[in-house]
Amino acid sequence: MIRFLPLLLMIAGAIVYGRFLAWRTAKELDSKSVELVDPELRLVLGRLAQALDLPRIKVHLYEVPMINGLASHDGRIFLTRGFYDRFRSGKVTAEEIASVVAHELGHVALGHSRRRMIDFTGQNAVRMGLALVLSRVLGGLGVWVAQALVGLLMAGLSRRDEYEADSYATALLIKAGIGAGPQKSLFRKLGALAGSGTGQAPAWLLTHPKTEERIAAIEANEARWIRPAPDAPA
């Protein structure tokens, strides 16, 4: 039992550290966000709320310049100032913003947001434990190998979550009468909006799937879920 004590202490430390980061993230969101109130967005978000049989969907404006949407582990939806500014300047439509909110609602509804906090804590524990074991065999390389292995695992899980949230969003947008068009058009815009370069890491190293693959998955769902009327021309 004593020989496993360092490993147990490292795992306990990783769990405490993970919970501390979750607490700090929640405090950051609380201190830098307010409810987003916009008449134009209220209309389109109202359509999502109606499709979900909810009185309204509350979105928070997170005061950071990056372009992103996120869902916290307690179910709150956030849109960054960078994203909202692109909307106000006409570079992003209200329907495209709705597709972001629908995607984040998917993360909440499917349990991704809460699970990610648990996964992050477990990820730190596994990384530290694996590093300790591998270091006995590989020396200084053990830490780097453990980091790479856990990173690949978590990237794969993240991509799975993104596809699932995309699917939820597509279904919700269709039900709300908005359709998946804004969801696809926004994906095509995101690279230019963020000012990213042309270089891209291999798909299996990315935490998000490639844009063209996400759009293809959305279109496949559309083909399954949207049926032509019986009297529609072939």
Q: Give the mean pLDDT per block of 10 residues along the chain (234 residues).
A: 58 60 73 93 97 96 92 90 95 96 94 62 58 60 59 63 93 96 92 56 52 92 75 48
Distance CA 204, CA 140 (A): 26
Are the beta carbons of 120 and 114 closer than 8 angstroms?
no
Instruction: State whether the Cα torsion 73-76-77-81 is positive or negative.
Output: negative
168, part of any domain: yes
150, part of any domain: yes
230, part of any domain: no
| pLDDT at residue 18 in the model | 58
| pLDDT at residue 130 in the model | 58
216, part of any domain: yes
Torsion of CA 181, 61, 164, 115, to 10 degrees: 180
232, part of any domain: no
220, part of any domain: yes
Domain interval for residue 81: 2-192+202-224
- Name the domain count of the chain: 1
| pLDDT at residue 42 in the model | 95
- Cα–Cα separations (whole angstroms), residue 3 to 8, 9, 131: 10, 11, 16
What is the SS3 string spanning the chain? CHHHHHHHHHHHHHHHHHHHHHHHHHHHHHHCEEECCCHHHHHHHHHHHHHCCCCCCCEEEECCCCCCEEECCCCCEEEEHHHHHHHHCCCCCHHHHHHHHHHHHHHHHCCHHHHHHHHHHHHHHHHHHHHHHHHHHHCCHHHHHHHHHHHHHHHHHHHHHHHHHHHHHHHHHHHCCCCCHHHHHHHHHHHHHHCCCCCCCCHHHCCCCCHHHHHHHHHHHHHHHCCCCCCCCC
Other CB atoms within 10 A of residue 228 CB: 8
197, part of any domain: no
Q: What is the side-by-side order of every strand in the sheet holding 69-71?
A: 33-35, 59-62, 77-80, 69-71
Encode burial over 86-103: b for 16+ CB neighbours within 10 A, e otherwise. bbeeeebbbbbbbbbbbb
Token readout for 27 is 């405090």
Q: Model's pTM, two decimal places? A: 0.72
